[in-house]
Structure 1
Amino acid sequence: MSLLSIRTNKSKGIIQSYQSGFSTAYRLVDLVLISLLYFSLLYLQQLDINSRSLIPLFVCIVGYMVSAEALDLYRSWRTSSTILMIRMTAVAWLLTGLVTLSCAYFFAHLIPYPNRFILTWLLGLFPVLTGWRLLFRRLLRAYRKNGHNTRTAIVIGSNKLAYSLARQLEDNEHLGIRFAGFFDDRDEQRLPYELREQTLGSIEEAIEKARANEVDYIYIAMPMSAEQRITDILQQCSDTTANVYIIPNFFIYNLLNSRWQTIGSLQILSIFDTPFEGPNHILKRMEDILLSSLILTLIALPMLVIAAAVKLTSPGPVIFKQTRYGLGGRPIIVYKFRSMTTQDNGNQVRQATRNDARITPLGAFLRRTSLDELPQFINVLQGRMSIVGPRPHAVAHNEEYRKLIEGYMLRHKVLPGITGWAQINGFRGETETVNKMMKRVEYDLDYIHSWSVWLDIRIILMTLFKGFTDRNAY
C-alpha cells in the first residue's frame, strides 16, 4: 500500500511530491560524473579539446537534467524500491541518449568527434549513473541500520492497516524509520488485542509529542469514512513540524494499475486502470507488430499445410471466426483453424470437454498442440489482440462469469492474448468449475498489475517450452 504525503497548501488543495534534502547533491554528482567520463574518454582517445567540445556535453547535460526532472528522479528514495529507482534512471538515460545522438547526427558539422566516440560515452554513462546510486543507497542503508540518519514515526489509529505499516517499518530497518507506537482515542477494550500494549495514548497526546519535536513522521491510519475526524487531526498537525502521511484504506478494493492523474488543479487517483497508457502503449504495440510479423513469416508455410489438411479432412470452412470481447469489452472477431464440426458463436457456447464428439480427429491434434491458434497472429497484426495477455473467452462465457466472479471484466483492461500468465501456470483449456475460472482471472489480473516487457518475454519463452501442450487442452 502506497503512502500519500500530504503537505498543506492554503491556496490549492493539491498533493505535491516530497523533495529530498539530497536532491541538490544528487544533481551535482550526476553533472560531475557525466562531465568526468566525457573528458576522461577524450583524454584516453587523445582527441583535441576545444570550444566545440562543449557542444555534445551541453546537449547531454541539458537532456539528462530535463528528463530526470520530468521523471522526478531527484526526489527522496528512502521508501521506494531500488528497481524503480534504476528503471527511472534508465529511462532518463535512454531519452538523453536519443536526444544526444540525434543532435550528433543532424548537426555533425558542429561536433568535432566521430559518432562512435559519442556512442561509447553514452553507453558508459548508464553503468556510471546507476552504479553510484546503488553504491550510495547501500552505504546509506547500512548507515541508517546502525541508527544514524533515522526518523521517528508514530501511527494514529490502532487497526489492521496500522499494524501492517508498523510491521513493515520494523522489518525494513534500512529505511531508517523507527516506529514509536500507536495512538488512538478508543477505549482499550475496543482496540485489537495485539495492539493494546503498543497503543501509548490518545490522539491529543500524539499531537503533543509532535509539537515537542519528538516525532518526525505521523501516519494516519483511519478509515476514509472518518473524513471529518481526519480533517480535525490534520488541522492539529498543521501546528507541528512533523511530516504527515495518510494511509488510505484502499486495500478494500482490488487496485489495478492505480495512478495519480491531474484534471486542472485537481489530482485524482484511478482505482481500476490499464498499464498501457502513453509510452507503454507504444512499446507494447511495437512488441506485437515486430514479433507477429516475424512469427507469421516463419509459420506461413505450416499454416498453409494445416489449412489444406483442415479442408481435406472435414467439411466446412478452414477458419473458424468467433465473436469475443477485446479491449474495453468491445466485441472483436477472433480467428482459429476450425477444429470442430460445429461453429458455436451465439448465446449458448459449450466449452470443449474430454472426448468431445464435436472435435474432429485433426482438430484434436491441433487443439492439443495449440496449432489451431496460429491464425490469431493475424489478429495481433490487426491490433485486435496481443501476443501476451488474458485469453479471450466467448461472449456467452463472459456474460456468464461476469455475474459469478468479482472483477472478472477487469481482465479486459488490456488486449486479449494468444498466450498469457494464466496459461503457462496451468490454467489452459477447459474451466469446468467456477474455482478454476477464478484462478485464471486471478493470474490475468496479476499479469495486468505486474506488466513489463520482461514479463512478456518470460511468458513467451515459457510458452515455447511448456505452453503449447497441456493435459487440460482438448
Structure 2
Amino acid sequence: MSDTLVSRWKPEKRAQNWKSFATELAALAAVATETAAIAAASVVSGLLYHLVAYGERGDVIGYFQVGTLAASIILISNLFRGEYRLSHFLSFKTHPRRLFQLWNATFACLLVLGFLIKASEDYSRGWLLLYYVTGFGTLLLVRYALVRLVRRAASAGIIATKRIFLIGTPQEVERFTAHFDTSALGIEIVGSSYLSDATLRETAPVRQEELSRDLATVSPHVRHLEPDAIFVLIPWSERDLIDRCVQVLVGLPCEVHIGPDHALQHYSNADLARHGPLASLQLVRAPLSRFDLLQKRVFDFFAAVFALAVAAPFMVVIAILIKLDSPGPVFFRQQRYGFNRKPFPILKFRTMTTLDDGPIVNQATRHDPRITRVGRWLRRLNLDELPQLLNVIRGEMSLVGPRPHAIAHDHEFEKVVDSYACRHNVKPGITGWAQVHGYRGETDTPDKVERRLEYDLFYIENWSLARDVLILFWTVFSATAYRNAF
C-alpha cells in the first residue's frame, strides 16, 4: 500500500447515465406503487366489506375517491419530508414507526374532512375501520417490498444513490471499507487517495507540507472521476488537517463530507441536530418523542380500563381462591423502579407464602416451595400480573415495556451489565418484547440478564404502537410467552 492515489478507471459515461436514470426511475416507481396501493386498498376493502355485509358491491367510485384522497395526503407529506430519497429505502428499521404516525394523521384528516363536508354519513363505519387496518397493512407490505428491491438493486450495481471518493490515511480508509457494506448502502466507491502517514506523525509545518503535496494530486483525479461526494477520513481530533482538506476540496464540484469517526460507530442513531444557529452531534436520541409518549399513554389508559372492566369478575374469583388456599393478603406489593428510576409499589396477586421487599429478595425458582398451589397456576398463566392494570391506569407502568425487577435485583444486574440502566428510560410494562420471546423467569446467570436486556433495548429503540399491539397479542396467544413461567 503506497501513499499515492489508488483509483479505478473512469466508468463509461453511458453506464453513469444509465445508473442515474435507473435511480430516478426507481424513485418514481416507489411513488407510483405506494399511491396505487393505498387507493387499491380502499377499493378492495370496500368491495369485500359490502359483499360480505350486504351482498352488494357498494359505491366503488366513493371508495376510489377516499383512497385517492388518502394517497394524495400521504404523497404530499412524503414529498415535503423527502421520504422518497432512495437512501431512505436501504433499511426497513425506521419505516414502521414513521408509516404508523403518517397513516394515523392521514386518517384523522379524512375524518375531519368528511365531517366538514358532511360526507361521513355516506360511508360505513365498519368499512372505514377495515380500511384503516388493511390500508396500513398494505402500506407496510409495499414499503417492505420496496426496501428489499432497492437493496437488491443497489447490491447488484443497478442503481447507486451516491458515487463517492475516499481521502484519508490507509488505516482510516481500510477501517471504513471493512466496517460498511457500501453495496448494500447504495454507495459506489469510484476511487480513493491515501494520505501519507507523515501527515499525522510529524510536526505541524511538516504535516501541512505533506498534506498539501497529497491534496495536489487529488483534484485532477476527482475532476476526472466526477464523484457525487468526497469523504475525508481523518480522525476528528485532527482539526487543522480537516480544515486544510476542506479548504482545498471545496473548490471541486461535489459534496464534501467528514467521514464517521471510529468512535461514532458505537452510536447507530447519531444525527446532526440544529437549534437555530447552534449545531450539535446528537449521539443518543430520547427513547420516545413527545408524540410517541402521548400515543402510548392514551392507548395504555383506555386499553387498561377496558381490560380491567373485562377481568374484574375473574379477579374477584382469584382473590377468593387465594384467601382459601393460604393465609395472608390477596395482593403483594413490592417497590420497583419505574421510568427514570423512580420507585413505585407494583401490585400483584400473592402467589407465595413470603412477601420479600428489601435489600435481599430471593428469586422464584422452579419447584420453589414458597409458591402456593393457587399461585403456581396464576404464575403459569400470567394471571398474577392482572392487578398491574391499576399501575398502568395510575401512570406508573405501561401495558408493554421492560419488565420491572425487584430493586435489590436491579442493583445486582447493574453491576453485571453496563447498559442495564437504559431499561429505565421508558416505563416498565406488564409484558414485554423479552417475555414474548421466552426470556422470563429466573435470571441467575449474567448471560440470562444480557439476553433479556438485549431484547428490552431492541424494543426501546424500535418502539411503535403497532409493535405494542403485536406483543399484547403474543402475550395471550403465543406459547413462547408462557415459557419459563414458574
TM-score, normalised to structure 2, is 0.70
Distance 1:148 1:163 in 2: 25
Distance 2:99 2:336 in 1: 40
Taking structure 1 as reference, are residues 385 and 84 closer, same or farther at Cα in structure 2, changes over 3 Å only?
closer
In the alignment, which residue of structure 2 is the partner of 1:153?
164
Tell me if structure 2 keeps the 8 A contact 1:170–1:179: no
Counterpart among 454, 469, 474 of residue 482 in structure 2: 469
Tell me if structure 2 keeps the 8 A contact 1:63–1:95: no
Distance 2:483 2:263 in 1: 35
Tell me if structure 2 keeps the 8 A contact 1:71–1:92: no
In the alignment, which residue of structure 2 is the partner of 1:51?
none
In the alignment, which residue of structure 2 is the partner of 1:422?
434
> Cα distance, 1:248 vs. partner?
2.5
Distance 1:331 1:159 in 2: 48
In the alignment, which residue of structure 1 is the partner of 2:105?
95
Q: How does 1:137-148 map to 2 (within 5 A)?
A: 145=156
The unaligned stretches of length 5 or more in structure 1 are 1-20, 48-53, 191-200
1:220 counterpart SS class: strand
Tell me if structure 2 keeps the 8 A contact 1:326–1:385: yes
More helix, by proportion: 2
In the alignment, which residue of structure 1 is the partner of 2:9?
none
Taking structure 1 as reference, are residues 180 and 469 closer, same or farther at Cα in structure 2, changes over 3 Å only?
same
> Cα distance, 1:426 vs. partner?
3.0
Aligned identity (percent) is 32
Q: How does 1:116-131 map to 2 (within 5 A)?
A: none
2:376 counterpart SS class: helix
| Deviation readout 1:401-426 (Å, 9 max, x if unpaired) | 22331111011111111122222333
> Cα distance, 1:266 vs. partner?
1.9
Distance 1:414 1:364 in 2: 30
In the alignment, which residue of structure 1 is the partner of 2:17?
none
Q: How does 1:306-317 map to 2 (within 5 A)?
A: 306-317=318-329
In the alignment, which residue of structure 1 is the partner of 2:419?
407
In the alignment, which residue of structure 2 is the partner of 1:104?
114
1:407 counterpart SS class: helix
| Deviation readout 1:196-234 (Å, 9 max, x if unpaired) | xxxxx9565445533555433222334333333333322
In the alignment, which residue of structure 1 is the partner of 2:406?
394
Letter in 2 for 1:466: A
Identify which range, 419-428 or 401-410, moves more after superposition: 419-428
1:402 counterpart SS class: helix
Q: How does 1:26-425 map to 2 (within 5 A)?
A: 67-68=77-78, 71-73=81-83, 75=85, 77=87, 80-81=90-91, 91-92=101-102, 94-108=104-118, 145=156, 151-157=162-168, 158-159=170-171, 163-165=175-177, 168-172=180-184, 175=186, 177-181=188-192, 183-186=194-197, 205-212=217-224, 214-249=226-261, 255=267, 258=270, 260-425=272-437
Taking structure 1 as reference, are residues 378 and 222 closer, same or farther at Cα in structure 2, changes over 3 Å only?
farther
Letter in 2 for 1:337: F
Taking structure 1 as reference, are residues 321 and 160 closer, same or farther at Cα in structure 2, changes over 3 Å only?
farther
The unaligned stretches of length 5 or more in structure 2 are 1-22, 44-57, 202-212
Tell me if structure 2 keeps the 8 A contact 1:147–1:176: no
Tell me if structure 1 keeps the 8 A contact 2:96–2:140: no
Taking structure 1 as reference, are residues 432 and 451 closer, same or farther at Cα in structure 2, changes over 3 Å only?
same
> Cα distance, 1:262 vs. partner?
3.5
What count of residue pairs does the alignment treat as equivalent? Answer: 425
Tell me if structure 2 keeps the 8 A contact 1:428–1:470: yes
2:424 counterpart SS class: helix
Letter in 1 for 2:347: Y
Taking structure 1 as reference, are residues 239 and 304 closer, same or farther at Cα in structure 2, changes over 3 Å only?
same
Letter in 1 for 2:227: V
> Cα distance, 1:322 vs. partner?
1.0
Q: Give the CA RMSD over aligned residues.
A: 4.8
1:353 counterpart SS class: coil
| Deviation readout 1:213-271 (Å, 9 max, x if unpaired) | 54332223343333333333223221222222333336667547555543332233433
> Cα distance, 1:428 vs. partner?
0.9
Identify which range, 284-293 or 442-451, moves more after superposition: 284-293
Distance 2:245 2:352 in 1: 66
Letter in 1 for 2:324: L
| Deviation readout 1:104-132 (Å, 9 max, x if unpaired) | 312439x9x9567x989x98999799979
* Runs of 4+ with deviation above 6 angstroms: 44-47, 56-62, 122-137
| Deviation readout 1:276-329 (Å, 9 max, x if unpaired) | 213222222233234323332332222111111222222222111111111111
| Deviation readout 1:73-118 (Å, 9 max, x if unpaired) | 3555476436756875675565344324413312439x9x9567x9
> Cα distance, 1:449 vs. partner?
1.5
> Cα distance, 1:459 vs. partner?
2.7
Tell me if structure 1 keeps the 8 A contact 2:351–2:375: yes
